[in-house]
Amino acid sequence: MRIKDMTRIALALACCVLAPLSSAPAWAQDQAQHLPTTTLGAGMYNIKAEVARSEQEHEIGLMFRTSMGNNEGMIFIFERAGQQCFWMKNTLIPLAVAFIADDGTVVNVDEMKAQTLDPHCSTKPVRFVLEMNTGWFTKHGVKAGSKLSGEPFGTPR
């Protein structure tokens, strides 16, 4: 084989190896995402919640955040109700999580430690999951049976 042919083969092989890397999924990142927000209500408290709708947005969630405002969080919206389970991989701040039924009723609440792989799951099938700063739900009296309001639940805020 001539040098010219070997060079072409080497370039073709390099393209085959490197091409998949250039199209790595958006969720294969190491920085926080910032999504559009909606206002939710928990009694007299307003929550500014970023809205995660897509699978990629769900996978990144609140990863790589170093802080979050007092009444800020992220609501995860799923197409169908199911048992939703969350973990804290690459999540730098501890969070509280509420699993929420279609009508805005809280099914169950849990606390999650930063950077752990422990599963935190809904006790019933749900379409909505709300993550807030650790202790937020307890501090504001939100527990199983509490009702949240806002656009995702079809109720005005």
pLDDT in tens, the chain (157 residues): 555 554 454 444 444 444 444 444 444 567 899 999 999 999 999 999 999 999 999 999 999 999 999 999 999 999 999 999 999 999 999 999 999 999 999 999 999 999 999 999 999 999 999 999 999 999 999 999 999 999 999 988 7
Cβ atoms within 10 Å, residue 137: 21
Task: Supply the CATH classification number for the domain 37-153.
Answer: 2.60.120.1140
Nearest to 44 by CA among 152, 146, 151: 146
Query: What would the DSSP string read from start to end of 76-123?
Result: EEEEEEE--EE--TT--S-EEEEEE-TTSBEEEEEEE-TT----EE-S
CB 62 within 8 A of CB 95: yes
**What pTM does this model have?**
0.82
